[in-house]
Structure 1
Amino acid sequence: MSAEEIRESSEAYPMKGGDGPNSYAKHSTYQREAAESIKELVTKEIAEKLDIDLLLPSNALHIADLGCSVGPNTFSAVENILEAVQLKCQSQGLTNPQIPDFQVFFNDHTANDFNLLFKSLPQNRQYYAMGVPGSFYGRLFPSASIHLFHSSYAIQWLSGVPKEVVDKNCPAWNKGRIHCLNSTDEVARAYGAQSAEDMERFLHARAKELVHGGLMVLIIPAGHPHGTPLSHTVAYLTIHLLEASLLDMVRKGIVSAEKVDSFNLPLYSMSPQELEAVVEQNGCFSMETLKTLPRVLSDDTVLSAKQFASHWRAAFEGLIKQQFGEEILDELFDLYHKKLEEELSIVKPRKTTSFLVVLKRKEN
């Protein structure tokens, strides 16, 4: 096995570490609420789809959370999965001595704040914990060693910005914009192609690591809901107003236009149809479940604006700091917060959609 097959190179976009006022640990309530809102659904999916015969030959059930960040959301997700597996075992007549131990692998980029993650581990946890640094777009585990993969709100992060969008000589050059939303068709195609390529790498790696019959449970933010104007979606609001804030700083002479022209967010929310196409092309998984999970932002405009600004600072601060320097961060996100307050007071509610995907590793 080549080193390239074990671990593909990928750019790192860790969330803001530590437990300070701008940290991801303090500002990831949306993801936590979304995961909690489908706890019963995930439990039902595991109860129906997980093959207990996979567990009996093993001394331990191996679970991996991909894109775990720093907590606490990953711990809630793992607890939900463990409860579901235990219920499944009990429903099959297994007693506690027959239920295998649980080994949980927490994965994220090497730059992730694993120190905080391990300091925050629940004291009363019923599993053994290990950290696995590296990009999930490459191999992370030995062949056929994982029984269940989980990932929540992580796969929308691309392995890198599409090369075409930063090439001045390419039709997809994304001058003056920071994403494919509300950009040209060429830019949108470049992002879509990058997402499809990344997802194929993701599935290729997981197909080797997952035992035959093992499950993969994914929560993925989707593109804008069918029939909803793009300008009324959370994704558009998030990126359009951050872009507008950066352009305000260009007009003030705080950052250069060239810096903005070469800055693009490595994010892409694929549609369920795009995911289905990649899964079919890969051929190693059966699509057991694909369910849309609509959500609506709170009507509390001021609170939502504050939460939103803090949430996206925790997510984007590292990228922005790398491109523009640390000194612009406070002013930029102050502008962003003000724009959010104004926009949310004009049009609400803003719609956002995610979907739950359950894939099973085929026997062949």
Structure 2
Amino acid sequence: MTTSFPMNAGDGLYSYSKNSHFQKEIIDGVKEMVRDAIIRKLDIKTILSSSNTLRITELGCSVGPNTFSSMQHIVEALKDKYLYQDQVIDSTKSILEFQIFFNDQVTNDFNTLFQSLPVDRSYYASGVPGSFYDRLFPSRSIHFLHSSCAINWFSKLPKELLDEKSPAWNKGRIHYVGASNVEIVNAYVAQFEKDMEMFFNARAEEIVPGGMMVLVTPFSGYVRLLGFFGSSLMDMVNEEKLDESLVDSFNLPLYYPSPQDMTKVVEKNGLFSIE
């Protein structure tokens, strides 16, 4: 049973749309890497053998505006790959059409998302609510998948973190950052590996042969921020402004995988290759 962790809705002062600058920096920082992967690695001729429609999904789209920037960049890269795949512009090629499926939890603010869709977009847009740790699409229906700053969220929190009798009880912390007990870290790693196994199994059914999946996840910057956040809460406990039991009962359902972590889960699953 998955748990929903939606981003703050709307476009107000504390909304995700007004407080996602760090995520935008990540997206902008990898744009050329994503484009290069599409141009060099994607076999667009094979995946378009029976259609001129490319179906793309954005997993963990939230409410914008970052998702729109990512999708437009990917659409432009796919257009260029299609036109230049034989190193020569082919004026006889049919015009590509793009259908993008914006996915997030059922509790996501899809109203804000679709109200802010770019007017000049060059794709058809659809919403697909649901956890990406489950199946979302028909078999072999998706050509390209993108997800940024999303798979680091768990489907659920490891229950042993809240069990006072467990060696993984995370007393006085809200995360695995700075944990001296290896059992706490192991609980986070185990949940990450379980979630990614479900994720890859579902995507392997949905992505067409020859399709591509791009997963972008932050690492060092976020880990530092969580350390600051946790220590700030404990400062409030020490100043008697916050009950310590509240901190003990609160753990962030986030794990930031290293490249080695991702390589391990991909190779263990065996349904995808790392390009």
TM bucket, shorter chain: over 0.9
Matching of residue 47 in structure 1 with residue 39 in structure 2: yes
Q: 1:216 aligns with which of 209, 213, 219?
A: 213
The whole-number CA distance in structure 2 between the counterparts of 1:73 and 1:272 is: 23
Residue 140 of structure 1, CA deviation:
0.6
State the identity %.
52
Give the Cα–Cα distance (whole angstroms) in 1 for the partners of residues 107 and 92 of structure 2. Answer: 38
Task: Give the match's secondary structure for 1:217.
Answer: strand
Report the counterpart of residue 110 of structure 1 in structure 2. Answer: 106
**Counterpart residue number, 1:192:** 189
Aligned: 1:27 with 2:23 = no
For each residue in 1:255-300, what CA deviation from the matched residue of structure 2 results, as whole angstroms up to 9, or x when unmatched? Answer: 3222211110001011111111111111111111xxxxxxxxxxxx
CA contact (8 A) 2:223 2:256 kept: no
Amino acid at match of 2:177: L
Structure 2: how far apart are the matches of 1:36 and 1:163? 36
Structure 1 residues 96 and 14 mapped into 2: Cα distance closer, same or farther (>3 Å)? farther
Amino acid corresponding to residue 79 of structure 2 in structure 1: Q
Partner of 2:199: 202
Residues 1-364 of structure 1 aligned to structure 2 (within 5 Å): 9-53=1-45, 54-92=47-85, 93-95=89-91, 98-183=94-179, 184-222=181-219, 224=220, 234-288=221-275
User: 2:213 and 2:90 mapped to 1: Cα distance?
Assistant: 23
Deviations 1:173-225 (A, max 9, x none): 00111111111111001101111111111111100100011000111123x4x
* Secondary structure of the structure 2 residue equivalent to 1:151: strand
Q: State whether residues 70 and 116 of structure 1, in contact with CA within 8 Å, keep that contact through their aligned partners in structure 2.
A: yes
Hey, what's the Cα distance between the residues in 1 that align with 2:30 and 2:238? Answer: 44
2-side partners of 1:282 and 1:243: how far apart? 33
In structure 2, C-alpha distance between the alignment counterparts of 1:59 and 1:154, rounded to whole Å: 29
CA distance in 2, matches of 1:38, 1:283: 25
Q: In structure 1, the residue corresponding to 2:78 is in which secondary structure?
A: helix
TM norm structure 2: 0.93
Shift of the 142–285 alpha-carbon distance from structure 1 to 2, 3 Å rule, reads same
Question: Once superposed, what is the RMSD of the aligned Cα atoms?
Answer: 1.6
